């Protein structure tokens, strides 16, 4: 019988460590703009490159040889470095660059301090008591920390846009599956959708162009919403409007039919999500729908191991970054229950092929008597 040597069990763990060491090398490459200083169609010696970048030649050589062992750059002759297709991408694709930079400089250091953070702040739901806080030496939450530097903020936005480019995240899954303009009858009177944290209005613009009787109000932080009007096609200008609003404060648009939260709640811990939902309450009319478009993790073991792993990695990354999380059906339902018993949880549906689910609740209003204490 073939018996696995205990040493064989090291393999999966070593693979993880190898990936981390490649990140270390990429962090060095990005921080010192190495890719841009290697000629695209020629070679350069390590020493020459060290001179141009004002780096220590021995360090530079060691960091680069780690990357070279993964085909990022090549060493065609000892001491001489040239590009590969992979390393050229680092110069030529600004979105990929921003994404890798974000992992290497923002997330990866946070991962290394996350266990420390759970010891320092056990069970914390605060976005500034995390591995990120320890690694970056800040008491601001990561979004505010990153916003302090314009270039860093732009890189972060580009990185997020890059990760959302995956076809499984396309907004058409939400729009084809959820009928924003459907009142359930022939009634085609005007409907209002508020897209909370709606960014550049991509979803709102698509809703308004599909349903001529729907008006959309896109809410986001002031610097984000400032750019909205330039995105809205002329024909939709009257029906897609922007409004600066912080969703951690009470909702100012009263009586809308649908309040949409797409890719918002997974950025926040349960305690904050409950506050975000409670902030809607004063504005809600009876029957208003809360539509959340976010990941809903299936029960353990329902997915293939790779798909399950991806979701678990995302969940723990959110923990490391700002004590946020990915949720399963039970966790989604309990957010609404905790926020207010007058939310009726309608369930979770997953458009075929999509990665993000549609989670829906209805505001029952005062029809349902408040529980008496």
Ligand X SMILES: C[S@@+](CC[C@H](N)C(=O)[O-])C[C@H]1O[C@@H](n2cnc3c(N)ncnc32)[C@H](O)[C@@H]1O
Active-site annotation, residues: 266
SS (H, E, C) the chain: CCCCCHHHHHHHHHHHHHHHHHHHHHHHHHHCCHHHHCCCCCEEEHHHHHHHHCCCHHHHHHHHHHHHCCCCCEEEECCEEECCHHHHHHHHCHHHHHHHHHHHHHHHHHHHCHHHHHHHCCCCCCCCCCHHHHHHCCCCCHHHHHHCCHHHHHHHHHHHHHHHCCHHHCHHHHHHHCCCCCCCCCCCCCEEEEEECCCCCHHHHHHHHHCCCEEEEEEECHHHHCCCCCCCCHHHCCCEEEEECCCCCCCCCCCCCEEEEECCHHHCCHHHHHHHHHCCHHHCCCCCEEEEEECEECCCCCCCHHHHHHHHHHHHHHHHHHCCCCEEHHHHHHHHHHHCCCEEEEEEECCCCCCCEEEEEEECHHHCCCCCC
* Mask for 167-206, x = binds ligand X (CB under 6 A): ------------------------------xxx---x---
When asked if residue 247 is in the footprint of ligand X (CB under 6 A), the reply is yes
Least distance in Å: CB of 205 to ligand X? 12
Applying CB under 6 A, what is the total number of residues that bind ligand X? 13
* Mask for 255-294, x = binds ligand X (CB under 6 A): -------xxx------------------------------
When asked if residue 22 is in the footprint of ligand X (CB under 6 A), the reply is no
Considering only 47, 116, 149, 246, the residue that binds ligand X (CB under 6 A) is 246
When asked if residue 106 is in the footprint of ligand X (CB under 6 A), the reply is no
When asked if residue 44 is in the footprint of ligand X (CB under 6 A), the reply is no
- Using the minimum distance from each CB to ligand X, give the nearer residue, 84 or 138: 138
Considering only 24, 52, 91, 221, the residue that binds ligand X (CB under 6 A) is 221
- Using the minimum distance from each CB to ligand X, give the nearer residue, 96 or 221: 221
Q: Which residues bind ligand X (CB under 6 A)?
A: 197-199, 203, 220-221, 224, 246-248, 262-264
């Amino acid at each position: 019988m073939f018996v696995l040597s205990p040493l064989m069990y090291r393999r999966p763990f070593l693979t993880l460590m190898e990936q981390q060491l490649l990140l270390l090398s990429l962090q060095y490459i990005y921080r010192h703009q190495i890719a841009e200083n290697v000629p695209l169609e020629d070679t350069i010696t390590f020493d020459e490159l060290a001179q141009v970048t004002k780096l220590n030649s021995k360090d530079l050589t060691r960091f680069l040889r780690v990357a070279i062992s993964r085909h990022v750059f090549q060493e065609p002759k000892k001491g001489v470095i040239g590009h590969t297709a992979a390393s050229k991408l680092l110069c030529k694709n600004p979105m990929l660059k921003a994404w890798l930079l974000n992992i290497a400089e923002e997330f990866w250091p946070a991962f290394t301090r996350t266990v420390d953070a759970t010891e320092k702040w056990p069970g914390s739901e605060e976005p500034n008591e995390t591995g990120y806080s320890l690694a970056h030496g800040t008491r601001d939450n990561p979004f505010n920390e990153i916003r302090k530097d314009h270039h860093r903020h732009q890189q972060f936005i580009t990185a997020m846009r890059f990760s959302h480019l995956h076809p499984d995240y396309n907004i058409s899954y939400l729009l084809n599956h959820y009928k924003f303009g459907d009142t359930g009858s022939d009634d085609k009177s005007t409907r209002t959708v508020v897209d909370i944290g709606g960014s550049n209005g991509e979803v709102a613009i698509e809703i308004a162009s599909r349903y001529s009787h729907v008006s959309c109000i896109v809410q986001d932080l002031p610097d984000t919403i400032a750019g909205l009007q330039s995105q809205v096609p002329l024909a939709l200008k009257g029906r897609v409007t922007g409004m600066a609003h912080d969703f951690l404060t009470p909702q100012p648009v009263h009586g809308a039919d649908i309040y949409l939260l797409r890719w918002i709640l997974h950025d926040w811990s349960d305690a904050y999500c409950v506050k975000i939902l409670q902030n809607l309450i004063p504005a809600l009319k009876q029957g208003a729908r809360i539509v959340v478009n976010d990941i809903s993790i299936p029960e353990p073991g329902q997915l293939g191991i790779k798909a399950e792993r991806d979701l678990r990695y995302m969940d723990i990354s959110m923990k490391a970054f700002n004590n946020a999380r990915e949720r399963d059906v039970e966790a989604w339902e309990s957010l609404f229950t905790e926020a207010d018993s007058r939310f009726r949880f309608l369930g979770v549906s997953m458009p075929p092929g999509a990665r993000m689910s549609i989670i829906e609740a209805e505001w029952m209003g005062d029809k349902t008597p408040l529980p008496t204490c």
